[in-house]
Structure 1
Amino acid sequence: MATNRPASASDPSARLDIGRCPVPAWLPGGHAQTLYGAFCAQHPTIHFVRERADTPDGDFVDLDWCGPGLDPHIRPDGHSTPHESGLVGTAASRWIEPADWFRLSPDAPALILFHGLEGSSLSPYMQAIAHAFRSRGWTVVAAHFRSCSGVPNRMARAYYSGDSSEIAFMLDHVRSRLPQAAWHAAGISLGGNALLKHLGEAGHGAQGLRAAAAISVPMDLAACGRRLSETVWGRQLYSRYFLQSIRRKILDKAQQFPGSVDVLRTQHMRSLREFDDLYTAPMHGYRNALDYWTRAASLPLLPGIRVPTLILNARNDPFVPEASLPGSRSTSSDVLLHQPSQGGHASFVTGMFPGHLGWLPTRLHRFFDSGR
């Protein structure tokens, strides 16, 4: 269980760690680190067993499970299976069966992962973390936000940065599957903001978690939204990349729910702000992008967190302005801020060329194990 020593008046920076991430000299700058980590760095490949959980509003979320004893390629009856129907192109090889729950250790430590914008269990950071923790004997669940598991969800709505109620639902669901497990949670980028928002809102009510971590988190959504929508790199590179898959999903929504989306405006989207104005905000109860960014941000809720929580942000993250990062006096004493100077966004590549993604899982495990 992670425990953190309390801050004191004589130690005002007790909750702030600026220890370095040893990014190699051959990979300089936040943009290079981010892009290389997303597309080039080495990481293990891991396969999952998928569970589909129905949500209270009639939709569903897909949860990819792995752990010692749970073989993604061998069914409980002993028969091997390739990718089953509906799972081709995903990181899951088969659907979970009732007998599979008896294969998982009921009291082993467990970790649920929440991905970032347009991520999934295939994302390199999800693969690296899941593989590392499974190798240590943990049960790991890669949770998918709606529409991100490779299958369209049932409703016109999808997912968004402030969906703390979805986080609460998924946490309650996995805890019901393994109620004796020591549960931990980690969210990356968008998933980190939603997780922190839930923790801040729940306060002592989130004590079902032993500890949590949020990585490369856009806690000030307005500052990060402007960075991605108004700068050259943000608009021409990152927004353009995300909008490729987002635009396809919105067009599918328009066909599934005629009149729910302005298709013509969709074709002319050039920034994430335009996407949030057009779809995210109105579909999820906000007036516009700015209202969404303001009300869905986790930053104002950090003082309410009552679970030991690591918030890890590189200060050269091209998505998250350094000036928007919280200081040690902006959080509860249960939060440890780690803000290394290097690492990029959801990357933290280390090692000799060609580099790997092993530093992040090790950092998370250290915090979960010792609170430091």
Structure 2
Amino acid sequence: MIGQLHRADFVPPAGLANRHVQTLLPRLLPRRRLPHRWETLTLPDGDIVELTWVTPGPEDTAAPLFILFHGLEGSFDSPYARELLAAADALGWRAVLMHFRGCGRLPNRLPRAYHSGDTADAYWLIGQLAHRYPRALKVAAGVSLGANMLVKLVAEQGGDGLDLAGAIAISAPLDLSASADCLQQGFSRVYQRHLLASLKAKTARRLADLPLDLSTERLRGLRTLRDYDDVVTAPLHGFRDAADYYRRASAGRWLGQLELPTLVLHAEDDPFMPPDLFDRLPAPGESVRVELARCGGHVGFMEWRDGRWRSWLARRVTRQLEDWTPTLSGRPRRLPAESEPPFR
């Protein structure tokens, strides 16, 4: 396992290495302005997802394409989303974010929502983009819930089942049960309360239309994400209970089977996950590079460069997109060579 783990080069500013400071800091800074347009995409089952495209975007239809999947209750307004999309756009890539069902401007149409293992919509979107931009190199990235979903999708489809040159997974909760446990401990309960409040409010608005044996009073009384997944996420999406959902949707068990070049970025102090997360998982396969930072929090990784706050994630993703940009031979460059210093 050690051969596929590498030490990330993220260095936090002095005195700001605390995992909660790193997690919250991006949400306290001014949000990046990024010109964009919306697109509503009808899915095969009649439901919708909404896409947000960075504008104006490249004129060349063969320009490389960056596809981003957000985290739980995230959206284009999430700080990391704007930073990563802007980074891809600055490289001359076409950049788009897919909102999971009900996470855009419009409620979704069907009596269902989304979850960490729901790969069908992302798979269909990538197929649609393959038809729109058949000559474009494509890379997908996922953040948090979207990262777990993307790793699961890559595992399901094998090395040639997706029109992707590579995938990037950021702060992925690869063991969902362990993540649910972590969010019930200490200050992490603040994040749980925030996410749970958003999920409960969205469910309350549609409760009468959902096939759930759930009263408004019981919904209001749910205290943990595990409780919510037990009575809402699981029955709504065909799982027996939260434990069954976590077992079947967690993508970590497939780390050793991924065939598509995949970069995994993670902080050992992520408050959403146990510090020994990767000790619990199978060894990453040859196509996978896991970069672990000692600190960084959950989708934090904020650094001080050139006299201002900047996202190390955007800088690291920029380097990876450059590595995967087609060379004169027309082939994308691969992940860093085995001769590079390993994780230690």
TM-score, with normalisation over the residues of structure 1?
A: 0.82
Q: CA RMSD in A?
A: 2.0
How far off is 1:22 after superposition? 1.4
Other-structure match for 1:170: 125
Judge conservation of contact 2:212–2:236 (CA < 8 Å) in 1.
Answer: no
In 1, Cα distance between equivalents of 2:297 and 2:274 = 11
Q: Following TM superposition, by how much is the alpha carbon of 1:263 offset from its aligned partner in structure 2, in angstroms?
A: 1.9
Q: Which amino acid aligns with 1:279?
A: V
1:41–1:357 Cα contact (<8 Å) kept: no
Alignment counterpart, residue 262 of structure 1, candidates 215, 221, 224: 215
Task: Specify the code of the residue in structure 1 equivalent to 2:23.
Answer: T
The aligned residue for residue 369 of structure 1 is 322
Q: Using a 3 Å threshold, how does the CA distance of structure 1 residues 243 and 201 change in structure 2: closer, same or farther?
A: same
Matches within 5 A, 1:1-372: 13-37=2-26, 39-42=27-30, 44-67=32-55, 69-70=56-57, 104-228=59-183, 230-235=184-189, 237-257=190-210, 261-325=214-278, 330-351=283-304, 356-370=309-323, 371-372=335-336
Distance in 1 of aligned mates of 2:304 and 2:245: 39
Q: Which runs of 5+ in 2 are unaligned?
A: 324-334, 337-344
Count of equivalent residues: 325
Q: Give the equivalent residue in structure 1 for 2:328.
A: none
Paired AA for residue 81 in structure 2: M
Q: CA deviation at 1:343?
A: 0.8
1:354/1:30 CA distance change after superposition, 3 Å: farther
The farther-off stretch of 349-358 and 49-58 is 349-358
1:367: Cα distance to partner? 2.1
In structure 2, C-alpha distance between the alignment counterparts of 1:16 and 1:33, rounded to whole Å: 22
Hey, what's the Cα distance between the residues in 1 that align with 2:312 and 2:165?
Answer: 22
Q: Is the 8 A contact 2:212 2:235 kept in 1?
A: no
SS in 1 for 2:191: helix
* Aligned-partner SS, 1:65: strand
Distance 1:183 1:352, change over 3 A: closer
Give identity over the alignment, percent: 35
Distance 1:156 1:202, change over 3 A: same
1:234 Cα offset (Å): 2.7
Question: 1:73 matched to which residue of 2?
Answer: none
Structure 2 residue aligned with 1:80:
none
C-alpha spacing 1:270/1:357, structure 2 compared with 1 (3 Å)? farther
Q: Counterparts of 1:24 and 1:128 in 2: how far apart (Å)?
A: 19
Distance 2:169 2:98 in 1: 15
Q: What's the offset of the Cα at 1:316? A: 0.7
Deviation at 1:42?
Answer: 5.0
Post-superposition offset of 1:150: 2.3
In the alignment, the residues of structure 1 paired with residue 44 and residue 307 of structure 2 have an alpha-carbon distance, to the nearest angstrom, of 45
| Offset of residue 355 of structure 1 | 5.2
What amino acid is aligned across from residue 236 of structure 2 in structure 1?
Answer: M
Letter in 2 for 1:131: A
Q: Is the 8 A contact 2:179 2:273 kept in 1?
A: yes
Q: Alpha carbons of 1:334 and 1:42: their partners in 2 closer, same or farther (altered >3 Å)? A: farther
CA–CA separation in structure 2 for the residues paired with 1:328 and 1:289: 20
For 2:288 and 2:123, the matched residues in 1 are separated by 19
Aligned equivalents of 2:259 and 2:211: distance in 1? 44
